[in-house]
Amino acid sequence: MTKPVILTGLRANNNLTIGNYFGALMPMVEMANQKAGEYQINMFIPDLHSFTTPINHDELQGQIMHNARLFAAAGLPLDHDDILLYRQSYVPAHSELTWILDCFTGVGEMGRMIEYKDKSAKIGDDRVSVGLFNYPVLMAADILLYGAKYVPVGEDQRQHLEFARDISERINARFHDILTVPDPLEKQTEFFGKGQGLRIKDLADPTKKMSKSDDSGKGVIFLTDNPSEAAKKVMSATTDDKASINYNPIEQPGISNLLQILALLRGHPLDDVEAAYKGQSSYGDFKRIVADEVAGFLTAFQAKLADVSDNAIIAAFERSEQVANQQANETLHRVQQAVGLRPRG
Ligand code: TYM
């Protein structure tokens, strides 16, 4: 890697939501369009992460292609030498580095990961896979193989990003600086601007994250939702009885979430959007404005999605996977030498 690397991945385990879009996809596409040339942009599909919780395996291939199409529709250029689009499992070094890092990771450390605790509480102990437990280690390998400095992710992934920093520092302390440590989270926020660390909430239950694996889907806007159905979800979003629009995520999580979504859709600062509606009492009128904006956004996005060429995606995979394998194998070899699996220089 001769250029600094910006990297992110979005799992192919369901359709993506507007949370995924604003939390990770859009920041990454902006980076790709503004910074390729100066930076290398690694956008990948963490297909090995896709079945840490049970999925229908007959659908995985289709989901992988679908996600890549969503990336392209969001504006990821497919034919730029500095922009890599690849599938994690096509670069075997990801699995191999994971095993090595596993042996330097504490069981207690993984058990404290909030996402693991939440998901395992939901699924029940008997059905929790070692893969789910171990998932942050694979994520760290994804980042460290390419020496990525910047990793745009939503708020729910920040603890995992912190772990990638911890494990790289641990390996460096033990084996003399063989890995690039991702920048601290505050520096990442500075680099990406305000969007970093975003958490869009579920419309029906705004105390929880909007999640693609939510069973009912009632409070979730998927990028492929029918625009008028999505507008209906906004119209029935849970709010409060204060009859006054304010950005106050603790006391008014529903209205605050809608303000945040509107600001993101319009590309305006949240403060400006709040100022425009502050104190207004008609939630119905405000929801209509947000609903129309959501429907307009989805209509435009889906038109772009229909135009994406699968051949262009496959060509980008093939070109990128060649480069990714080369770069990842170099890092892996350095680690293998350090831990004694390969002869040293
Ligand atoms: P995943 O697939 O669950 O989510 C993809 C990205 O979307 C963000 N996100 C959100 N952002 C704001 N509001 C929300 N409601 C919301 N829901 C999801 C997530 O924070 C994430 O950035 N482990 C990762 C994928 C991954 C990865 C990596 C990311 C694997 N390896 C290496 C970065 C670097 C995951 O499961 O994200």
Distance of CA 273 to the CA centre of its chain: 25
Pick the CATH number of 5-195+309-339 from 2.40.50.140, 3.40.50.720, 3.40.50.150, 3.40.50.620: 3.40.50.620
Tell if the pTM clears 0.85, that is, is over it: yes
Nearest CA to ligand 1 atom 37: 10
Using one digit for the tens of pLDDT, what is the confidence trace for 42-100?
999 999 999 998 899 999 999 999 999 999 999 999 999 999 999 999 999 999 999 99
Using one digit for the tens of pLDDT, what is the confidence trace for 213-257?
777 889 999 999 999 999 999 999 999 999 999 999 999 999 999
Q: When comparing pLDDT for 259 and 216, which is higher?
A: 259
Give one word for 176, left, alpha or beta, with left for phi > 0 and alpha for psi -120 to 50: left
Average pLDDT in the chain:
94
pLDDT grade for 194, boundaries at 50, 70 and 90: low
> Catalytic site residues?
119, 209, 212
From the CA of 169, how far away is ligand 1's center (Å)? 23
From the CA of 124, how far away is ligand 1's center (Å)? 23
- Residue 118: pLDDT over 90: no
Do 5-195+309-339 and 227-305 share a fold?
A: no
Ligand 1 binding site (Cβ under 6 Å of any ligand atom) = 7-11, 19-20, 23-24, 46, 49, 139, 142-143, 151, 153-154, 156-157, 198-200, 209-210
- Residue 13: pLDDT over 80: no
Q: When comparing pLDDT for 1 and 283, which is higher?
A: 283
Return the pLDDT at 237. 97
Nearest CA to ligand 1 atom 27: 9
pLDDT grade for 192, boundaries at 50, 70 and 90: confident
**Is residue 182 a contact partner of residue 150, using CB atoms and an 8 Å limit?**
yes
Pick the CATH number of 227-305 from 1.10.8.60, 3.40.50.20, 3.90.25.10, 1.10.240.10: 1.10.240.10
Return the pLDDT at 339. 98
Nearest CA to ligand 1 atom 23: 139
- Burial-class residue 125 by CB neighbours within 10 Å (0-12, 13-18, 19+): exposed
**Is residue 335 a contact partner of residue 178, using CB atoms and an 8 Å limit?**
yes
Return the pLDDT at 196. 57
From the CA of 158, how far away is ligand 1's center (Å)? 9
From the CA of 153, how far away is ligand 1's center (Å)? 6
Q: Name the token pair of 132.
A: 């789910």
Domain layout of the chain by residue ranges: 5-195+309-339, 227-305
Nearest CA to ligand 1 atom 31: 139
- Residue 195: pLDDT over 90: no
